[in-house]
Chains A and B, each alone.
Chain A
């Protein structure tokens, strides 16, 4: 993939198809037993406690969780943008295209960041630099990583803006972030992430701050570009609806652990973890009305004091003595599903509680 000079416009307009899978035939990204903690004055907050997940090229993994579940911290650790101190990666591997990123030096990671993996943040207004024009910020990617001239990088910026369907790109390239609407700003973020055609995009709540009609536009665009470039996509969100629309597989996080992984269809039909079940039952449905919402009792745990045993046990309707003492491993539910619940079988078979399909 050599791009350089203004003649290389084709590379952007018609992306080179990549073989499925990473370079070594394994998954594109493989996170293994990742642990992250924050050392604060109040004590050590264990934000990520042994996360495993993998993404293949062209695949969308949705990481679902509430605030404080560790879903964003995991992403920051993968990208190498964790604030340290106070954050420390204490254990684990992040294998990207066959290389463990955590063993690489700063300079090598910087080359990967942006070029090989890129991130889309939730809040486009605070992620973009307010005193630089959008064109300069987009062009910077090409100047820094590809050593292009100012003029060429501007041309590339305009192309990118057209690529994410920002109308009148030629005029708007000179404008500043505040002159764009929320949806357009998010498109700029997407354009920036796409600039160097990365293999992996991590999108952290990319549409949470947007209105539904704009959210639909942005998610459609993202899904389309992902297909076209055959990228791996990690979609971090708390919205079960967005997940159902775009994801291939789901990892549900709670208190820094993955509690359930599953292909998207199965999890909605029959969740194998009481927390997933609770989440599905607690959201109101646009197409259904009537029942009282099921509410998961209590609050997510304080990460300074995660309960012993299963972290979900104080809120779990199924909790037994064993849940208070033994931390459940990630049980294999089927070939491509896993659940960190001692009673996953009972949860899977149970259809007595109000389920979204009832």
Chain B
């Protein structure tokens, strides 16, 4: 199970390999004698690879488990089962010194720039704090200089080193968060909804900054977001999650222009496109109902309760994430991994004509 999941040049090696990752949060009853009465299956067996220097986007609606995946990759949550290999080493089993060493190379940027920065610490202290934990990166005397350098890298005035977070706008705070993520020269940055809380004009600034930093430092990003447009813009490959499972994964063109999973198609068709003329070009699929509870997911295919293609087989047999047999051996971009018994291509974005121009 360790061969690459998608067709990638043989020269590129995955830097992070996730295999059958599972996280169940137990539901208990009783105060003194806690009895487990079930579990919220937040992440229920997902696998993917992250290659050096690429951006893997993970999209999905709220409650699909994408943020839990982020925490598992950082080992902030203990996985129930499954493995996360960083350069061949399973980090879910590490602890103490070994874990600390790995974490230096995997950093995180959080969603909310208002609550992820300590309001009582100066910007210099916030960005410099990683050096307290990993003093080998920057010797004590060098730290202020290093922090100024980082501020400059993320486009903030190095003179702001003694200011407090409340003196900055949302976009500037997110830059501080990014500078903190960069402090230890990591190889991987996990970004959990990094621009969701920002205004559109500022969002573009931060996205451009992240792309620039990726080129400059050869970073790999796992970019988690619910905004499909942003994810397409920044990602090389995209994985679509639904209720703790990966529904479909492939390159951005494969997912956005040749989606084969009905959920991806519905998700893409629901995104409003800022072009009134696209209204006529696009086909809308409006799903009925809400996402089922992850504590009690449907049997078989998890999407079947909202799927217009669902048949008896979908309730009985869980579809595996693999290249669907109809496309096996084909060269078409529709031949990517999709967890659906009735996978069929459908262009819902209406982009083919635009891209040719």
From the candidates A182, A296, A356, name the one contacting B204 in the complex (CB within 8 A): A296
Q: What's the minimum C-beta distance from A110 to chain B, rounded to whole angstroms?
A: 34
B200–A283 contact, CB under 8 A? yes
| CB-CB contacts below 8 Å: B165-192 with A | 169, 171-172
B355–A356 contact, CB under 8 A? no
Residues of A participating in the B interface, judged by any CB pair closer than 8 Å: 66-67, 181-184, 211-217, 219-220, 238-245, 264-265, 268, 278-280, 282-289, 292-297, 299-300, 356-357
> Which residue from chain B places its CB closest to the CB of A209 in the assembled complex?
B62
Stretch at the interface among B19-27, B87-95, B267-275: B267-275
- For B207, B252, B276, the residue with the greatest tally of chain A CB atoms inside 10 Å of its CB is B276
Which 6 residue pairs are nearest across A and B when measured between Cβ atoms? A241-B272, A284-B233, A287-B351, A282-B204, A211-B61, A240-B274
B226–A212 contact, CB under 8 A? yes
How far, in whole Å, are A355 and B278 apart by their CA atoms in the complex? 15
From the candidates B229, B276, B355, name the one contacting A268 in the complex (CB within 8 A): B276
A292–B274 contact, CB under 8 A? no
Contacts of B266 in A (CB 8 A): 213
> Which residue from chain B places its CB closest to the CB of A286 in the assembled complex?
B229
From the candidates A66, A216, A244, name the one contacting B274 in the complex (CB within 8 A): A244
B290–A183 contact, CB under 8 A? yes
B201–A241 contact, CB under 8 A? no
Q: What's the minimum C-beta distance from A308 to chain B, rounded to whole angstroms?
A: 21
How far, in whole Å, are A245 and B272 apart by their CA atoms in the complex? 6
Question: B232-276 toward A: CB 8 Å interface, digit per residue (1/0)?
Answer: 111000000000000000001100100000000011111111111
Besides the known contacts A241-B273, A295-B204, 14 further A-B residue pairs in the complex with CB atoms under 8 A apart = A211-B62, A215-B272, A217-B286, A241-B274, A242-B272, A244-B279, A245-B273, A265-B277, A284-B232, A284-B234, A289-B232, A289-B256, A299-B169, A357-B275
Question: B283-310 toward A: CB 8 Å interface, digit per residue (1/0)?
Answer: 0101110110000000000000000000
How far, in whole Å, are A214 and B61 apart by their CA atoms in the complex? 9
Confirm or deny: B228 has a beta carbon within 8 angstroms of a beta carbon on chain A. yes
Q: What's the minimum C-beta distance from A137 to chain B, rounded to whole angstroms?
A: 21
How far, in whole Å, are A309 and B230 apart by their CA atoms in the complex? 34
Confirm or deny: B156 has a beta carbon within 8 angstroms of a beta carbon on chain A. no
Q: What's the minimum C-beta distance from B143 to chain A, rounded to whole angstroms?
A: 29
Q: What's the minimum C-beta distance from B274 to chain A, rounded to whole angstroms?
A: 4
From the candidates A66, A220, A264, name the one contacting B200 in the complex (CB within 8 A): A66
A283 in contact with B272 given A289-B252, A292-B211 (CB within 8 Å): no
Contacts of B253 in A (CB 8 A): 289
How far, in whole Å, are A241 and B228 apart by their CA atoms in the complex? 12
A244 in contact with B276 given A289-B232, A295-B204 (CB within 8 Å): yes
Q: What's the minimum C-beta distance from A287 to chain B, rounded to whole angstroms?
A: 4
26 intermolecular pairs with C-beta atoms under 8 Å apart: A66-B199, A66-B200, A181-B290, A182-B62, A212-B228, A214-B290, A216-B272, A217-B286, A220-B286, A238-B200, A240-B200, A241-B229, A243-B274, A244-B276, A265-B276, A268-B275, A283-B204, A284-B204, A284-B207, A287-B349, A287-B355, A289-B355, A293-B204, A294-B204, A295-B201, A299-B172
Confirm or deny: B105 has a beta carbon within 8 angstroms of a beta carbon on chain A. no
How far, in whole Å, are A241 and B203 apart by their CA atoms in the complex? 15
> Which residue from chain A places its CB closest to the CB of B353 in the assembled complex?
A287
From the candidates A181, A217, A282, A356, name the one contacting B203 in the complex (CB within 8 A): A282
A287–B287 contact, CB under 8 A? no
Interface size on B, residues (CB 8 A): 50
How far, in whole Å, are A67 and B200 apart by their CA atoms in the complex? 10
Q: What's the minimum C-beta distance from A297 to chain B, rounded to whole angstroms?
A: 8
Confirm or deny: B37 has a beta carbon within 8 angstroms of a beta carbon on chain A. no
Contacts of A67 in B (CB 8 A): 199
> Which residue from chain A places its CB closest to the CB of B351 in the assembled complex?
A287
How far, in whole Å, are A286 and B349 apart by their CA atoms in the complex? 7
> Which residue from chain A places its CB closest to the CB of B226 in the assembled complex?
A211
B273–A216 contact, CB under 8 A? no
A216 in contact with B201 given A280-B274, A285-B229 (CB within 8 Å): no
- For B199, B203, B256, the residue with the greatest tally of chain A CB atoms inside 10 Å of its CB is B199
From the candidates B199, B208, B351, name the one contacting A300 in the complex (CB within 8 A): B199
How far, in whole Å, are A164 and B356 apart by their CA atoms in the complex? 42
A299–B171 contact, CB under 8 A? yes
Contacts of B201 in A (CB 8 A): 66, 278-279, 282, 295-296, 300
Contacts of B226 in A (CB 8 A): 211-212
How far, in whole Å, are A283 and B233 apart by their CA atoms in the complex? 10
Confirm or deny: B354 has a beta carbon within 8 angstroms of a beta carbon on chain A. yes
Confirm or deny: B315 has a beta carbon within 8 angstroms of a beta carbon on chain A. no
A289–B349 contact, CB under 8 A? no
A295–B208 contact, CB under 8 A? yes
Contacts of A184 in B (CB 8 A): 290
B270–A287 contact, CB under 8 A? no
From the candidates B172, B270, B273, B277, name the one contacting A285 in the complex (CB within 8 A): B273
Q: What's the minimum C-beta distance from A275 to chain B, rounded to whole angstroms?
A: 9
From the candidates A216, A219, A280, A289, name the one contacting B233 in the complex (CB within 8 A): A289
Contacts of A280 in B (CB 8 A): 274
> Which residue from chain B places its CB closest to the CB of A246 in the assembled complex?
B272
Contacts of A212 in B (CB 8 A): 61, 226, 228, 267, 270-271
Contacts of B288 in A (CB 8 A): 217
Contacts of B275 in A (CB 8 A): 244, 268, 285, 356-357
Confirm or deny: B350 has a beta carbon within 8 angstroms of a beta carbon on chain A. yes
Q: What's the minimum C-beta distance from A74 to chain B, rounded to whole angstroms?
A: 18
A279–B290 contact, CB under 8 A? no
> Which residue from chain A places its CB closest to the CB of B253 in the assembled complex?
A289
Contacts of A293 in B (CB 8 A): 204, 207-208, 233
From the candidates B171, B228, B234, B270, name the one contacting A216 in the complex (CB within 8 A): B270
Q: What's the minimum C-beta distance from A286 to chain B, rounded to whole angstroms?
A: 5
| CB-CB contacts below 8 Å: B203-234 with A | 203-205, 207-208, 211, 226, 228-230, 232-234
